[in-house]
Structure 1
Amino acid sequence: MQSGTADGLYWEVHDGPDAAASVILSAGLGGSAAFWAPQMQALTAGFRVILYDHRGTGRSDRSLKPDHSVAAMAQDIVAVLDATGTDRAHLVGHAAGGNAGLQLALDHPDRLDRLVVVNGWSRPDPHVARCFSARTRLLEAFGPQAYVEAQSLFLYPPDWISENDALLKEQEPHHVAHFPRTDVMLARINALLAFDIGDRLGQIAHPVLVSASADDMLVPPRLALRLAAGLPNATLEVVPWGGHAFTATLPDVFNTQLIAWLSGDV
């Protein structure tokens, strides 16, 4: 594994087989590369994998540049590709990371091969806005501890939370200790709420896997249907259960789907 920083962005490269295609993974609102731990073994068996922490999170610069936006997040992906000597790559993005991937396809189409958007969207939605408003108010009023304690309600199915309560409680101190600055988190949320490329989806010619969960309470699956319908070359896969973070609750199902898609088998 190689690691480094580029313009304040922490990155890692995990080599795969000789001449393997590159895949860059972009996390959701939390921004940490650690989100993709359930996918790493499956991916590194066949691909060169690039991880990075979003700007403002994890091991990257903990501040944001002025006028933060999803377009800026896409530009950060370009910076990581440049730093790792990667001309083109597949991109797998969860929510915020998937939206950044869509923006990358528009702004820098030559840097992208296949795109996987997990629980992403193409334009503002009232339900998503209400969820983010609740999380914002919680953070502003009570701080990161309360935000982190409530986060599982938005990420996981109720029965999974009940069965994994001890694990969630064990992880919470780590998440609180590494939580982004409040102004950074609010700016990231506002960037997602402002993201709107609904009238430009027809310009994205790349093959796109739109992956979603039927029980996602944060990003309803109808947003995935709308996204897939607007893309010229999309494949839609909706799992029946798993919540917003079904990459973690159903890793074997998602990994099988992911590897098949990236390998061109579907």
Structure 2
Amino acid sequence: MTSTATNPEISRSVKTGVILTNYQDVGTGDPVLLLHGSGPGVSAYANWRLTMRDLSPRFRLLAPDLAGFGYSEVPDDSTYSREVWLQQIVDFLDAMGVEKAHVIGNSFGGSMALALAISHPERVDRIVLMGSVGVPFELTPGLDAVWGYEPSFEAMRTLMRDTFAYNGSLVTDDLVESRYRASLRTQAAYESMFPAPRQRWVDAMAHSEADIRGIEHPTLMVHGRDDKVIPLATSLTMLEWIDDSRLHVLGRCGHWTQIEHAASFAELVTGFLTEAEL
């Protein structure tokens, strides 16, 4: 499948087990796997469009729609879990012929980046975690609202302006409408992923302290100081647990680091992924 002019979210597709994975493949250079978050209506393109623009001159960026999100196609009887998404990611790397890649994970995608590093450390080079899930924390009102989303234009606008973004003026009505329409198409799958009570899904996406402490990959964490969805404390915990790690905190920034501070994020990531080994 080739990219369409009418919908840039639909790009290429490849068979990954029982899932037909829609994905973006842009740029040249060392491969970087981009794993998106779990907001309603999300896709790899919606999550990473600015990052792909900024990093594609230096890297080959591979961004799949994980099962239940975006435009990947799954069987009608599909269930969703960390194990299902991890297998899809491994199958995707295999299908792309990529033995080893840098991995950038946003929020929910951060937990999946950690899962890949823990279960298949040989497939991962460096790790970037952005507002990442992956360690135990108390469910925030923001994340409860995200996972409990019920489709409407107003609900989507509230999430985007008041929960995700620090600066709500970045969120236009056209952007809200686009994301709201996207959420309608995948809502049945989305509702099945994170039903209430939702603390259990935070716990299900967390990894053990021993497993995270066992990660030897160089790891950069980026977190918005004003994140209402995933607390900064999660990145502080990972900074303590991952030996070769560093943390960059951005003020006046919510859960959308790669959008609200796109240039700074791209600069941080480029420097980290290209620095010489110590």
- After TM superposition, the score normalised by the length of structure 1 is 0.86
Name 1:209's counterpart in structure 2: 220
What whole-Å deviation, never above 9, does each CA across 1:137-163 have from its counterpart, x for those lacking one?
Answer: 452xxx343441222122101xx21x3
CA spacing shift, 1:212–1:64, aligned 2, 3 Å: farther
Is 1:156–1:244's contact at 8 Å kept on the other side of the alignment? yes
Q: Which runs of 5+ in 1 are unaligned?
A: none
2:93 corresponds to: 81
- Residue 145 (structure 1) aligned with residue 156 (structure 2): no
Cα offset for 1:72?
Answer: 2.4
Identity rate of aligned residues, in percent? 21
For 2:230 and 2:37, the matched residues in 1 are separated by 12
The residue that corresponds to 1:223 in the other structure is 234
Which residue identity is paired with 1:186?
Answer: E
Contact 1:118 1:210 in 2 (8 A): yes
Equivalent residue, structure 1, for 2:176: 172
Counterpart Cα distance in 1 of 2:77 and 2:136 = 23
Matches within 5 A, 1:114-129: 114-128=126-140
Do residues 248 (structure 1) and 254 (structure 2) align? no
Q: 2:31 aligns with which of 12, 19, 22?
A: 22
Matches within 5 A, 1:150-165: 150-152=158-160, 153-157=162-166, 160-161=167-168, 163-165=169-171
1:50 lines up with 2:62 in the alignment: yes
Unaligned runs of 5+ in 2: 4-10
Residues 64/147 of structure 1: CA separation in 2 closer, same or farther (3 Å cut): farther
- Whole-Å Cα distance in 2 between the matches of residues 123 and 40 of structure 1? 27
Contact 2:143 2:230 in 1 (8 A): no
- Taking the aligned partners of 1:196 and 1:65, their CA distance within structure 2 comes to 25
Query: Contact 1:71/1:100 (CA < 8 Å) preserved in 2?
Result: no
Q: Is the 8 A contact 1:24 1:50 kept in 2?
A: yes
How many Å apart are 1:226 and its aligned residue? 0.6
Between 1:62-71 and 1:195-204, the stretch displaced more is 62-71
TM-score by length of 2: 0.83
Structure 2: distance between partners of 1:247 and 1:91: 15
In 1: Cα distance, 2:214 partner to 2:14 partner: 32
SS in structure 2 of the partner of residue 173 of structure 1: helix
Contact 1:117 1:210 in 2 (8 A): yes
Code of the aligned partner of 2:130: V
Q: Provide the secondary structure at the position in 2 that maps to 1:238.
A: strand
- Alpha-carbon deviations, 1:188-246, whole Å to 9, x = none? 33644521213221111111111111111111111110111111211111112221002
Give the structure 2 partner of residue 182 of structure 1: 187
8 Å contact kept, 2:105–2:130: yes
Q: Report the alpha carbon displacement of residue 187 of structure 1 after superposing the two structures with TM.
A: 3.7
Q: Give the drift of 1:5.
A: 1.9
Of 2, 21, 25 in structure 2, the residue corresponding to residue 9 of structure 1 is 21
Letter in 1 for 2:268: Q
Contact 2:26 2:52 in 1 (8 A): no
Aligned with 2:249 (options 213, 233, 238): 238
The alpha-carbon distance between structure 1 residues 178 and 225, as it changes in their structure 2 partners (threshold 3 A), is same
Q: In 2, Cα distance between the equivalents of 1:243 and 1:265? A: 31
Change (3 A) 1:104 1:134: same
Is the alpha carbon distance of 1:137 and 1:52 closer, same or farther for their aligned partners in structure 2, counting shifts above 3 Å?
A: closer
The one-character-per-residue Cα deviations of 1:80-115 (angstroms, maximum 9, x if unpaired) are 111111111001110011110001011111111101
Q: Secondary structure at the match of 2:178?
A: helix
Aligned to 2:105: 93
CA spacing shift, 1:77–1:13, aligned 2, 3 Å? same
CA contact (8 A) 1:62 1:181 kept: no
CA distance in 2, matches of 1:61, 1:193: 27
User: 8 Å contact 2:27–2:61 — kept in the other structure?
Assistant: yes
